[in-house]
Structure 1
Amino acid sequence: MSDLLSPGRKKAKLDRLAELSAAHDDERGVSLWQEAFRRLRRNPAAIVGTVILGVFLLIALVGPFLVPYDPAAQLWKDEIREAQAFYPGPRAENWFGVDHLGRDEFSRMIVGARQTLLVGVVATLIGLTVGTLIGGLAGAAAGLGGRWGRWVDTVLMRIVDMLLALPSLLLAISIAALLGASLTTVMIAVGMVSVPIFARLLRGSMLAQSNSDYVLAATSLGVRRSKVALTHILPNSLAPVIVQSTLTLATAIIEVAALSFLGLGNPDASIPEWGVMLADAQRYLDAAPRLAILPALGIIITALGFTLLGEAMREALDPKLRK
């Protein structure tokens, strides 16, 4: 039958069979993470978020070594006239102008990016670590069953429920006020706010994975349920937690700025941080609104980058959206 086909049709048919075979091989050999990475590369939101975060990381890592002036030096204090509400704006020597103390605003924005990134990342790591420990222990205990397993799961989840019952910002303010104003306090306060989110998410993911076929197969082969929970269920339940950590970074940066705005951030004014800069600029909104607009834009754009990348990762790792 194939001999009766024209050479052109025969070549097209062979090409089509080759494409189908390659697609079948790709589908059979591609893992969830490889497929997710492939879909991320084709997602415009992921590309935009990655570019924003790449620029932000580059500024935070390299920028402090390239700033033209010391961010704490009041080099243009004599040019400021408080009585006339005059604060020099953008010009050749000061691209973003100077602040109310005569400090270069551009240098402070660049150095403040590192401080904001440090606080946001450390706060997220604190919440991720504590939340993963609580959620993993609760999920493993619930999967093991028995009286002790149910008791451990119930106690841990009731603690998490009490944390969730409090508004996140109110909880962060309470912790920061209790520990005193400092950079470490802000990290701990913001990190503890995200603990119940990670704990609930990991526990739910582990309970969903405990009904999978590979868990049943491992249990049928005589593997202890504790080993199944730690070596099989837990690693396969971390994908949504990783995605949530990206989204939490955006929230952490905003909450850090809120605590700094309320005066609970770093008391050392010589170290610039976007939230502190935004709080200091409130008294000069009429005379120099750029002092508030610049750090606000930095916070908004950075949070947008983390949000776009996190949402794209959530869609890429969703099994329901896989072809």
Structure 2
Amino acid sequence: MSLATTKTSKIDRLAELTAKTETSSGASLWREAFRRLRSSKMAIIGAVVIAVFVVVAIVGPWFAPHTPTAQTWRGEVFPNQGKFIGARGENWFGLDHLGRDMFSRMLVGARQTLLVGVVSMLIGLILGALVGALSGAAATLGGRAGRRLDDAIMRVTDLMLALPSLLLAVSVAAVMGQSLTTVMIAVGVVQIPIFARLLRGSMLAQGGKDYVLAARSLGIRKRRIVLTQIMPNSLSPVIVQATLSLATAIIEAAALSYLGLGNPDPAVPEWGVMLSQAQRFFDNAPMMSMYPAVAIIVTALGFTLLGEAMREALDPKLRG
């Protein structure tokens, strides 16, 4: 039997054993994590909050009792500008300063808030994962060129992390102009270095595992090890961070809208815009601010609780 045939046989055998081990251990890992999540009150509360938010965002606009942009009761508001018209039979959350139904605007605004949060998170996740994977692969594969590339990428990432996230988002939004797309991109850019650093660190940690050393000892190419072994096993913390980043994205998007960098059309309901509009009437109409503020806080709390529960469920130090 030739040396090449023997080497190929060893590689195939290692791949077979690795596949079996990954199938059993990987399945048990996620099964155990899911079991821990089901028994976690924090995870259940977070999942319920998120489920309610998503359902409201999807079906809410069809169940809104009134048109959210229509100033139907404008005549009732302007003669009494110093008095907030609160909850009543036809307006469950009362009216805003222009005579629009607050309950309808909250329902429709949930979809805009969810859209901004999810798209922003996906921008940060995809671009950050690409940057982190490139840096982690360069550092793992070794070589002078790889280390230089890794150092260059990480220095840029460190520079972005050194800036306060909201200040960085405001800077990006100010450069691009006022729009809902600008808010998504600005918040997404803030998330990029977080995902990049996390994935790179996870890949470096996986690079020292026994299965990587075994694969290298059998002569498997480093590139194949990185793509088929290290990368898949490094994604768990990134998935958890994506859940946590949704909460951050919603808050930062609301902050940009509050600062007037969101949708240029103030008539379009979005919780951050509604909060910005209500600040002028806080003394006489505090409930106009309370509704969107509480909605943002509770939604962000739901994503945070679920993300923290997932982190604990996937932490090998906490698995019994």
Please state whether the residue corresponding to 1:70 is helix, strand or coil: coil
Go from structure 1 to structure 2 and tell me whether the alpha carbon gap of 1:315 and 1:100 turns closer, same or farther (over 3 Å shift): same
**Alpha-carbon separation, structure 1, partners of 2:231 and 2:189:** 22
Give 1:214 deviation, angstroms: 1.1
Give 1:270 deviation, angstroms: 2.4
Please state whether the residue corresponding to 1:80 is helix, strand or coil: helix
Give 1:177-192 correspondences, 5 Å limit: 177-192=174-189
- What TM-score does the superposition give when structure 1 sets the normalisation length? 0.90
| 1:133 paired residue among 130, 135, 147 | 130
Residue 310 (structure 2) aligns with? 313
Residue 102 (structure 1) aligns with? 99
Please state whether the residue corresponding to 2:78 is helix, strand or coil: coil
Q: Deviations over 1:73-120 (max 9, x none)?
A: 000000013565123110000000010011000000000001000000
Residue 201 (structure 1) aligns with? 198
| 1:226 paired residue among 189, 208, 223 | 223
The 10-residue stretch of structure 1 (145-154 or 28-37) with the greater mean CA deviation from structure 2: 28-37
Residue 238 (structure 1) aligns with? 235
Residue 145 (structure 2) aligns with? 148
Give the length in aligned residue pairs: 297
Q: Could you tell me whether the CA contact under 8 Å between 1:86 and 1:287 is conserved in 2? A: yes
Go from structure 1 to structure 2 and tell me whether the alpha carbon gap of 1:278 and 1:153 turns closer, same or farther (over 3 Å shift): same
Residue 302 (structure 1) aligns with? 299
Opposite residue 224 of structure 1, the aligned amino acid is R
Residue 86 (structure 2) aligns with? 89
Q: Could you tell me whether the CA contact under 8 Å between 2:116 and 2:253 is conserved in 1? A: yes
Q: Could you tell me whether the CA contact under 8 Å between 2:81 and 2:97 is conserved in 1? A: no
**Alpha-carbon separation, structure 2, partners of 1:86 and 1:162:** 49
Q: Could you tell me whether the CA contact under 8 Å between 1:79 and 1:87 is conserved in 2? A: no
Q: Could you tell me whether the CA contact under 8 Å between 1:81 and 1:87 is conserved in 2? A: no
Give 1:187 deviation, angstroms: 0.3
Q: Could you tell me whether the CA contact under 8 Å between 1:127 and 1:191 is conserved in 2? A: yes
Structure 1: gaps (5+ residues): 1-26
Residue 17 (structure 1) aligns with? none
**Alpha-carbon separation, structure 1, partners of 2:194 and 2:82:** 46
**Alpha-carbon separation, structure 1, partners of 2:25 and 2:257:** 51
Go from structure 1 to structure 2 and tell me whether the alpha carbon gap of 1:82 and 1:261 turns closer, same or farther (over 3 Å shift): farther
State whether structure 2 residue 78 is matched by structure 1 residue 48. no
Q: Could you tell me whether the CA contact under 8 Å between 2:240 and 2:307 is conserved in 1? A: yes
Opposite residue 252 of structure 1, the aligned amino acid is A
Give 1:269 deviation, angstroms: 1.8
**Identity rate, percent:** 66
Give 1:109-120 correspondences, 5 Å limit: 109-120=106-117
Give 1:30-69 correspondences, 5 Å limit: 31-69=28-66
Q: Deviations over 1:234-253 (max 9, x none)?
A: 11000001101111110111
Please state whether the residue corresponding to 1:202 is helix, strand or coil: helix
Q: Deviations over 1:269-301 (max 9, x none)?
A: 221000000000011111111100000000000
**Regions of 4+ moved over 2 Å:** 27-30, 81-84
**Alpha-carbon separation, structure 2, partners of 1:290 and 1:179:** 33
**Alpha-carbon separation, structure 1, partners of 2:26 and 2:123:** 36
- What TM-score does the superposition give when structure 2 sets the normalisation length? 0.91
State whether structure 2 residue 319 is matched by structure 1 residue 322. yes
Q: Could you tell me whether the CA contact under 8 Å between 1:91 and 1:97 is conserved in 2? A: yes
Q: Could you tell me whether the CA contact under 8 Å between 1:138 and 1:152 is conserved in 2? A: yes
Please state whether the residue corresponding to 1:81 is helix, strand or coil: helix
Give 1:202-281 correspondences, 5 Å limit: 202-281=199-278
Structure 2: gaps (5+ residues): 1-23
Q: Could you tell me whether the CA contact under 8 Å between 1:239 and 1:317 is conserved in 2? A: yes
Give 1:151 deviation, angstroms: 1.0
Bigger Rg, which one: 1
Please state whether the residue corresponding to 1:31 is helix, strand or coil: helix
Q: Could you tell me whether the CA contact under 8 Å between 1:176 and 1:186 is conserved in 2? A: yes
**Alpha-carbon separation, structure 1, partners of 2:267 and 2:81:** 26
Opposite residue 77 of structure 1, the aligned amino acid is R
Please state whether the residue corresponding to 1:312 is helix, strand or coil: helix
Please state whether the residue corresponding to 1:255 is helix, strand or coil: helix
